[in-house]
Amino acid sequence: MSHVPSDPRLGTRRIRRVAFSRTDIERRVGELGAEITAAYPDGDLVLVGLLKGSLFFLADLARAIQRPVWIDFLVASSYGREKVSTGEVRVRYEPAIPLQGRHILVVEDIIDSGRTLGVLLDRLRSAEPQSLAVCALLDKRLAPPPPELRFVGFAAPPDFLVGYGLDHAEDFRHLPYIAEVD
């Protein structure tokens, strides 16, 4: 982790340090794109992003994958305005694209407790996809990984992280790096 330089995007808000720089993220997303391209040589590949956290990662990842992809989203929440999951997973929006018989790759920003992801994977399995896998930018390794976890960007520290889609009460998502909150 490195110290965060003065950043006008922060205004008066503070972060403790940068965990993953913009350069680190760009490099790793490119590598993940190449891995996913090789893993899915044919068939329909649907990237299902978990909003709002996966938005930036999903957009960059979709551009790094060198094959046709479909994109849709799920909206689920278990944090609200807290830094710790409430344990209650609420699903507010499900994919509109038909998923049956297609390869589904769930694009997740961070795996923390794994509760939200577990609930969503159960729902997606019921759509009878050809295959179901997960690509997570960050994995805190706090719980046993689901068997569907196939692609991971970085092992994450246990700190509460923000930036590159990750937020605290809807703040900090826009940062191009991932940092620990002060």
Phi, psi of 72, deg, nearest 5: -150, 180
- Burial label for 38, CB within 10 Å (0-12, 13-18, 19+), is exposed
Which among 60, 109, 112, 139 is annotated as catalytic? 112
Which residues 6+ apart lie within 8 Å of 140 measured at CB?
110, 111, 112, 155, 156, 157, 158
Which residues 6+ apart lie within 8 Å of 106 measured at CB?
48, 50, 74, 117, 120, 121, 124, 132, 133, 134, 135, 148
Active site (annotated) includes residue 112: yes
Give the residue numbers annotated as catalytic, written as ranges: 112
